[in-house]
Chain A
Amino acid sequence: MQGDIRRLRRLLRLAMHILLGLMACLVLAAAAKLRPAGAYPRQQAITRRWAAKLCRILALEIHIHGKANTDSTLFVANHISWLDIAVLQGLLDTRFVAKHEVGEWPVFGIMAHCAGTLFMKRGDHRTTARVADQLTHELSQQRNVLFFPEGTSSDGQGVQRFHARLFQGAVRAHAQVQAVAICYPHPCGSNPLVPFVGDDDLLRHLWPLLRESAVEVRVSFCTPIPARDWQRRGLAELTRAQIIDQLTYPEEQHKKAA
């Protein structure tokens, strides 16, 4: 009974928050037309605050390990659920790379556009090359970009192969690459409610989550890598190994440096 009341309250707050987000999008779009110069920092600050609030509504309990870079960094993370996006956007000033289908989603598509997301078509080398160029541009402007090199979300049990192509953007910009390991700890290993794989229905996925009193999230920032020392394939393998290492031995990562 208590869980049902909680769910109802959260659902209402969520609806309000999404409405607020849409309004913010309108205001941001108008502001960008009027004063294009300050558009980027404004957009980043608002997006970040909106995402952080979303995490609070969903009662995500976020534990952070390691230190995030602040500028000219390509963040790469493992991908379990759409929750990853809310969590990471709430922590970092960064643009995201998403598949182009996301841009066509009803409400969230508008928001993704508004947050300055870079869209790519999977399997289309021409648009991938274009996104890699945009990525180089963003990074050389001291901005950050985040993408999920697995290309799709996994069930949280393992980390799939990393696609290397987009790493080229960081190599060209001589930027730093920082791997981010994200997981949802749970008494039975990893939280079974969180993974959002393939063609799940968003609302059906959200429903049981809204009933939870809290969802624990663990975000670990690995040691950043200077991209110019590596080739894209090497970077993909290294960051994947760093993330797997973090997920396998979460408790002893910071023993080496005291």
Chain B
Amino acid sequence: MSLPAQRIELFTHSYNHHRPHKLQVGLAVTQGDIRAAQRLRYQVFVDELGATLSDARHGVESDLFDPYCQHLLVRDTEYDLVVGCYRILTDSQAQLAGGYYSQSEFDLSNILALPGRFMEVGRTCVHPDYRNGATLGLLWSGLARYMTLNKYQYLIGCASIPMNLGIRQVGAICKHLRQYHLSPPEWRVFPRVPVPLLHEETTETLSVDIPPLLRGYMHLGALICGEPAWDPEFNVADLFILLDTGRLNTRYMRHFVNRC
């Protein structure tokens, strides 16, 4: 499924007016676009982060959800290169896919009972040479447009903390997030394979360094909805996050949307 062409136009915005058309955000239109995103995912998740995916071959990382998803891309038009991507699974498409990706890690019954439309995002990655606020900002502005156009109320998804930070650091990050960004109890989700975290006392003395993407979500006003689930293939602790557009931090968001 793809959006009508005139809608795709709406997502295409150049980032910088002084150097026009260097970075552009837009939805993948052709199979080639999707392949480019899957190659970038392979480069980041498998080559760089060492994920042990059983079915990643020929430098392409894909899964059964891909055909049901929209792929949001940031492209460097100068080199015609996909440098950032997001994967979007809408509520209607999730029904066709037999569920959300997050449901393979969490019991979401409390969340899915909420009224309003859902949109799940995931497989976020940015090419190492383009890891700055600009690329992520462009991706978010694309997401924001998509959400407002299609009237989605909730953005949901898994945000990862790499286990190679060490179990103590992961514990400290989770403790910090639980303290400041935990959802109300009625929005709680339950991990199917919980990460066994250390007892609180042992993490007390650590300084907390939250991964950039997760930190960004929290700035936007997202909440974590419970304990982390362990994803063995990516070797990460996944937190389920929920962003209610009604609670969006508009000042922080404008920071990105205005730049487009």
Q: A229 — nearest CB in chain B belongs to which residue? A: B163
Asked whether B62 lies within 8 Å of A258 as measured between CB atoms, the reply is yes
Interchain residue pairs with CB less than 8 A apart (29): A223-B232, A223-B233, A229-B163, A229-B167, A229-B235, A230-B196, A233-B196, A234-B167, A234-B196, A237-B194, A238-B193, A238-B195, A238-B230, A241-B230, A242-B193, A245-B192, A248-B192, A252-B99, A252-B104, A256-B63, A256-B64, A256-B104, A256-B233, A257-B53, A257-B64, A257-B233, A258-B62, A258-B64, A258-B66
Complex CA distance for A226 and B52, rounded to whole angstroms: 11
Is B101 an interface position by the 8 A CB rule?
A: yes
Residue of A with least CB distance to B55: A257
Residues of A within 8 A of B150 (CB): none
Contacts of A225 in B (CB 8 A): 232
B52 neighbours in A (Cβ, 8 Å): 223
Interface residues of B (CB under 8 A from A): 52-55, 62-64, 66, 98-99, 101, 104, 163-164, 167, 192-196, 230, 232-233, 235
Asked if B54 contacts A67 (CB within 8 A), the reply is: yes
Contact indicator B164/A229 (Cβ below 8 Å)? yes
Cα-based distance from A257 to B194 in the complex (angstroms): 20
For A70, the chain B residues whose CB sits under 8 A away are none
A257 touches B63 (CB 8 A): yes
By the criterion CB–CB under 8 Å, are B64 and A255 in contact?
Answer: yes
Interchain CB contact (< 8 A) of A256 among B101, B167, B193, B230? B101
Nearest residue in B to A234 (C-beta to C-beta)? B196
Which A residues lie within 8 Å of B54 (CB)? Answer: 67, 257
| Bound CA span A156–B194, Å | 22
Residues of B with C-beta under 8 A to A242: 193, 232
A231 at the interface (CB under 8 A from B): yes
- When chains A and B are docked, how far (Å) is the Cα of A160 from the Cα of B196? 17
> In the complex, how many angstroms separate the beta carbon of B76 from the nearest chain A beta carbon?
29
Q: Is the CB of B194 within 8 A of A255?
A: no
Report the separation of the CA atoms of residues A241 and B232 in the bound assembly, to the nearest whole angstrom. 12
Q: Which residue of A lies closest to B53 (CB)?
A: A257
A242 to B191, CA, bound (A): 11
Cβ of B232 to closest chain A Cβ, rounded Å: 4
Bound CA span A234–B64, Å: 30
Q: How far is the CA of A237 from the CA of B175 in the complex (A)?
A: 19
Is the C-beta of A222 less than 8 angstroms from some C-beta in chain B? yes
Q: In the assembled complex, how far is the CB of residue A156 from the closest CB belonging to chain B, in whole angstroms?
A: 20
Indicate with 1 or 0, residue by residue over A203-239, a CB within 8 angstroms of chain B CB atoms: 0000000000000000000111110011101100110
- 18 extra A-B contacts, CB within 8 A, seeds A223-B232, A242-B193: A224-B232, A225-B232, A226-B235, A230-B196, A231-B167, A237-B194, A238-B195, A238-B196, A241-B192, A241-B194, A242-B232, A245-B192, A252-B104, A255-B64, A255-B98, A255-B104, A258-B62, A258-B64
Interface size band for A? 20 to 34
- The winner among B52, B193, B194 for most chain A CB atoms within 10 A is B193
Chain B residues, CB < 8 A from A238 = 193, 195-196, 230
Once the chains bind, are A241 and B193 in contact (CB under 8 Å)?
Answer: yes
- Bound: A258/B60 CA distance, A: 12
Question: Which chain B residues border A252 with CB–CB below 8 Å?
Answer: 98-99, 104
Cβ–Cβ < 8 Å partners of B99 in chain A: 252
Nearest chain A CB to B92 CB, angstrom units: 19
Interface 0/1 of A242-258, CB less than 8 Å to B: 10010011001001111
In the bound complex, what is the Cα–Cα distance between A239 and B215 (angstroms)?
Answer: 30
Residue of A nearest to B195 (CB): A238
Centre residue among A222, A225, A231, A245 by max chain B CB count within 10 A: A245
Chain B contacts of A257 at CB under 8 A?
A: 53-55, 63-64, 233
**Residue in chain A with minimal CB distance to B191:** A241
**Nearest Cβ in chain A — how far from B41, in angstroms?**
13
Chain A, residue nearest B229 (CB): A241
CB contacts (< 8 Å) of B62 on chain A: these are 258
**Chain A contacts for B53, CB-based, 8 A:** 257
Name the residue on B nearest A256 (C-beta). B104
Chain A CB within 10 Å, residue with most, of B55, B66, B230: B230
Q: How far is the CA of A255 from the CA of B63 in the complex (A)?
A: 8
**A224 neighbours in B (Cβ, 8 Å):** 232
Chain A residues within 8 Å of B164, by CB = 229
A258 adjacent to B163 (CB under 8 Å): no
Chain A residues with CB under 8 A of B63: 256-258
Which of B52, B55, B232, B233 has most chain A Cβ within 10 Å?
A: B232
Please give the distance in Å from B233's CB to the nearest CB on chain A. 6
Q: Are B193 and A245 in contact (CB under 8 A)?
A: yes
